[in-house]
Amino acid sequence: MKPIKIGIAGTGVVASGVVNILKRNADEITRRAGRDIEVIVVSSRTRAKAEALVGNDVQIVNDIMEVARHPDVDIVVETMGGYEPAKSFVLEAIAHGKHVVTANKALLAEHGNEIFKAAQDKGVTVAFEAAVAGGIPVIKALREGLSANRIEWIAGIINGTTNFILTQMREKGWTFADALKVAQELGYAEADPTFDVEGVDAAHKITLMSALAFGVPIDFKAASIEGISKLAAADIAYAEKFGYRIKLLGITKRVSNGTTDGIELRVHPTLIPESRLIANVNGVMNAVLVKGDAVGATLYYGAGAGSEPTGSSVIADLIDVTRTITADPEHRVPHLAFQPDSLASIPMLPLSAVKTRYYLRLTAQDRTGVLADITRILANHDISVDAMLQTEVDDATKEAHIVIMTHVSQESNVDTAVSEIKALASITGGVVKLRVEELG
């Protein structure tokens, strides 16, 4: 069979991974795909950069749209990232009947519904394994491997930068700022780390997995997002005393009972029992835990970023598309796991509706009756205490920390209680609230 012809937009880290792996493993890839997969055109604003990557046998163009419209290209690979010109490029390629492979989670989380609709109408595939958890084939697991299941929830460490920072904070007792600095020096965090540390990147990824798991449209705006930049080393240490690790998790959960039917979609630092496998995923590694009603809990672990891990997923998508390229569009694996005409309309739940366990840390003056005040407020709001710890009073500040682990409570009740606790005269240093997930 004749080779499948690829056009790549971009010459950055992901593109390098794709090109290098395609070259190095050409033989095995052809033996798997059934035909050669050949890069025939690359776009770059810097010709020298493109030449360094692909040599002289591959056409190099200035304008990405030449890739999107190239008459010989079967599949385009979008490696630019960001919203524009990535979106225009992808839509133009679709309009020209090209299949698309992309690693762009931001683009798909914000504009995926429009993009997948365009692909559906045109009868082409938009594949995005590399957009979530880098080299880990978790999109495939959700879309195909677990397709028998009613998915109950997903909880994932899906941002390597923040996992590296949290690991350093725990192992070395560093502050967030110290750990971030080291992450930047090592190239694990960008100069402007906002997207990573504030949880936006993780929210893009869990939004995509939420749609795949529950058969609903992609709804990034419904995500509640809290990053790790305000996390104190003290809370990591207290969590450890209770047997928990703190990880930035992307969580999506189907809540379905007598009173509520909806989907939770949230990213925040989370206490996890240290005995869970996912609590022991450290450094820049990623892991996604998926709970299905038939299979139970399954976990997928690996490198969540980097040139070759991301390239690995891009090429897996290229091989998937290649293997089944003659299939009629009605008989392809649907983009979002569910057939596009059978997406469900399930309400996205606000954070106030979440029911889980909570970790609270109060900084209080050492006065008689402070514990009585706090426990009375918690009881008033239907929050029962599972465990409590009070530190010795600091000689200088005359303050002590009170750490409370609650039983399952409702977020809105906890928020009201926290407001009332903050208003107590003895609470001088504010209240830290973190969520706890057992992931059992």
105 has binding-site annotation: yes
Per the document, the length of the chain is: 440
Residues 5 to 24 in contact with a second copy, rule: CB under 8 A: 17, 21-22, 24
Q: Is 337 in the site for a second copy (CB under 8 A)?
A: yes
Binding a second copy by CB under 8 A: which of 7, 160, 193, 311?
311
Residue of 300, 304, 301, 310 whose CA lies nearest to 21: 310
Q: Is 215 in the site for a second copy (CB under 8 A)?
A: yes
Task: Find all residues with CB under 8 Å of 269, minimum gap 6, and list them.
Answer: 166, 226, 227, 228, 231, 246, 247, 248, 249, 434, 435
Question: How far is 121 from 183, CA to CA, in rounded Å?
Answer: 43
Q: Is 156 in the site for a second copy (CB under 8 A)?
A: no
Residue of 264, 190, 197 whose CA lies nearest to 226: 197
For residue 205, give both structure tokens: 């990824």
Residues 343 to 362 in contact with a second copy, rule: CB under 8 A: 344
Letter for the amino acid at 322? T
x/- track of binding to a second copy for residues 222-261 (CB under 8 A): ----------------------------------------
Letter for the amino acid at 68? A
Stretch that binds a second copy, among 81-89, 104-112, 293-301, 413-421 (CB under 8 A): 293-301
Q: How many residues bind a second copy (CB under 8 A)?
A: 68
- Find the catalytic residue in 87, 98, 205, 247: 205
Binding a second copy by CB under 8 A: which of 31, 57, 177, 396?
31
Task: Find all residues with CB under 8 Å of 310, minimum gap 6, and list them.
Answer: 13, 14, 17, 103, 130, 134, 135
User: Of 192 and 330, which has the nearer Cβ to a second copy?
Assistant: 330
Binding a second copy by CB under 8 A: which of 118, 132, 281, 377?
281
190 has binding-site annotation: yes
Angle at Cα 114 formed by Cα 112 and Cα 116, nearest 5°? 65
Question: How far is 325 from 65, CA to CA, in rounded Å?
Answer: 23
Letter for the amino acid at 261? D
230 is a catalytic site residue: no
Binding residues: 105, 190
Please give the residue ranges that form the binding site for a second copy (CB under 8 A): 17, 21-22, 24-25, 28-34, 129, 135-137, 140-141, 144-150, 215, 277, 280-281, 287, 292-303, 308-309, 311-316, 319-320, 323-328, 330-334, 337-339, 342, 344
Residues belonging to the binding site for L-homoserine are 190
Q: Which residues are catalytic?
A: 205
